[in-house]
Amino acid sequence: MSPSSSSPIPVTLLTGFLGSGKTTILNHLVRQPELADALVIINEFGEMPLDHLLVAHSTENTILEMSSGCLCCTIRTDLVQTLRDITWRFSRNGQRQFRRVLIETTGLADPAPIVHTLMTHPQLAQRYRLDGIVVALDLAAGNATLDHHPEAVRQAAIADCLLLTKSDLADAEARRTLLRRLDAINPAAPRHEARHGAIAAGAVLDLGLFSAEGKVPDVMRWLHEEAYAADAPHHGLAHPGGHGHGHDHHDHDVHRHDDHIRAFCFAVNDPIPVARLAAWLEVLRSLSGPDVLRVKGILNVEGQYQPLVIHSVQHIVHPPVTLPAWPGADRRSRLVFITRDVSRATIEAALQSCLQNDSGQEP
């Protein structure tokens, strides 16, 4: 059965720093039935494109190779042209032959420009939607990678799912240290151990607000606000027979890149006045620069029964989406933030100021 041409095509980004095992993971993923009707785009960096020789072809015409440069550097040319053309290049009798797209990026790539293209390009925004950012991180070398490469910290911070690799090479202390760091960088992203690259496709698919089948949006899973509570237990590492590690407080090295990352959630009790909604969204846009890495939220707008969902990745703010109904009895506006050198107090003060009426009194 051919995929529907009316609903946006879900796109999964698979990224991770150099040597994290992305291609090995991709090898395992494309062999699984859930990705039998996926089209995979591989981006490579360098003059000798060898990575594609290691990628398994699950079905004919599923692998596209992009070897003209780093994906984030050619975002307005190679990727746009590829995403624009694949819907007719990989079709039969006028019917698209793939249901989703998986993009493996170079280890040096910042996923944000890809997200920007998917959300804003006039020829792509209505055709595709971001399903999730999946980041591979080496358990053995991950601490050193985060210490020396701020781009690796950004990748981990904006991830919807973290795949931890090379567990056979990591000692217990390296594992504990890395998991503690991830508690601070991105407490809400589920973590899975990918032993020798093996991971169930279900762990990396349908990570967004909507599933590929267009089911009722799973707001609670997507927002996962409880993970940002100060006393939230560390959810650990998911692997067969494994157990979560307790959260340990530890002294911070001021020179570590991830010490600048903050993750928090807060709620607004009163409905947001319609007259102030535009100001509220504008404040979010102004805050969502390079130092506000990820924002997710559900808003209660005065006079409206249906909630409004907002989402941004760095400076890219997705147009608000109205949901059919609230996911539960809690009708407060709730937002989660992951920032770099931007405090919770700064963001709360900025948002609160735009809710004050002309007399200076809160609504």
Domains of the chain: 9-227 (3.40.50.300), 257-353 (3.30.1220.10)
Sheet arrangement for strand 308-313: 261-268, 333-340, 292-299, 308-313, 316-322
Using CA atoms, how far apart are residues 133 and 10, in angstroms rounded to an integer? 11
Of 14, 259, 234, 262, the C-alpha closest to 147 is 259
Cβ-based neighbour number of residue 342 at 10 Å: 19
Beta strands in 98-255 (DSSP E): 100-104, 128-138, 161-165, 191-194
* Prediction pTM value: 0.81
Q: Is the pLDDT of residue 237 over 70?
A: no
Class of residue 139 by CB neighbours under 10 A (exposed 0-12, middle 13-18, buried 19+): buried
pLDDT at residue 327, rounded to an integer:
87
Report pLDDT digits (tens) over 146-158.
Answer: 998 888 898 999 9
Dig out the tokens for 109 from the structure. 């790539």
Helix (H) or strand (E) holding 281: helix 274-287
Using CA atoms, how far apart are residues 324 and 163, in angstroms rounded to an integer? 32
DSSP label at 251? Answer: P
Report pLDDT digits (tens) over 35-73.
Answer: 888 888 876 654 434 444 445 444 444 455 555 555 554
